[in-house]
Amino acid sequence: MKVLITGGAGFIGSTVASRCVDAGIDVVILDNLLTGRAEFARRFPFYCGDIADEKLLDKIFTDHPDIGATVHCAALIVVGDSVSSPARYYENNVSKSLALVSSVLRNGCGRFVFSSSAAVYAPGEGGCVDESSPIEPQSPYAHSKAQFETMLDDIVAATDLSAISLRYFNPVGADPELRSGTPSAHPTHALGKLFESYSTGTPFTVTGTDWPTRDGSGVRDYVHVWDLADAHVRALQRFDRITADSSGMTVVNLGSGRGTTVWELVRTFENVLGEDIDVVVADRRTGDTAGAYASNDRALRLLGWVPTFTLEQGIEDTARWLAVRSHLLNSVSPNVSLSGRRRG
């Protein structure tokens, strides 16, 4: 099997690419390198360009007529940025993704795996959600994922395309072999901010302490990126069986299956790294919700998938990645180790 991975030079896409190769699946990468890194893609046939470039897509399928599936990981993902620049998110995550679907259909590639998000779910009280839970996105980013899912479902019903939408919860960690990890030296998610506080000695900010959760902070479901990558491989390997009797898009949650509050994340981080973190509190940010955690029942039934990595392992693997990131990517990054804070 050979697959096209859009956004394959990014955090998720590059990890999926490595897991595919480990499973004997050939990979072709398409990435515009807006947020991805060429270092992650250089092990594969790599095309630098836009997912909406029809001529480039035609060339890719001409060069690789044996591509049997597309894994669509290319997207803008920062919630706060989407609030300030919504048009940019709708253009990239909706309009260009629609152009991508047209291109893969035109080239006869009928299997489509979409990297979606648990952000599409309605805000709750930090409880468990399954694939039938209400959809009520709270940010332009989440809206863009939900809108593309709606379009994809309609296209599947009307064409030869079959699709699986994998709704990620909160990815952490890195490829255990450190072939890739977070491209940015300053990630915007909570764990990235904790590492920034750890390496610089600046306080970590807990945004929102009045949520209806067990300790007032938001609940998140932190799933190891290698577990996510494994789920993609399983979706590809079982794709035809999963979609055979479906008249629409198949949706599958991918999370750890347990909720972790921000305060619990801080304590777990401190236990793994062996050092206390200074913490300050602030008001809720625009687009934030109380959060949720995944029911993985459908993932087990359809993919035979259960997460195998713990949050502690995700923190450890992130630390190992950040310690080598500047060397592997030839750029500045926090200098961290599991034994304590180091400053270069």
* Catalytic positions, written as ranges: 141
Q: Residue 191 and residue 197: Cα distance in Å, rounded? A: 10
Q: Look at the chain and count its residues.
A: 344
**C-alpha separations of 207 from 125, 190, 292 in Å:** 16, 10, 16
Q: Residue 114 and residue 100: Cα distance in Å, rounded? A: 11
- What are the residues whose beta carbons fall under 8 Å from the beta carbon of 108, sequence distance 6 or more? 61
| Pick from 191, 195, 148, 144: nearest CA to 170 | 191
User: CB under 8 Å, gap of 24 or more: what pairs does 148-152 form?
Assistant: 148/93, 148/94, 148/97, 148/98, 148/114, 148/116, 149/114, 149/116, 149/120, 149/249, 149/251, 151/94, 151/98, 151/101, 152/101, 152/112, 152/114, 152/249
Q: Residue 326 and residue 328: Cα distance in Å, rounded? A: 6
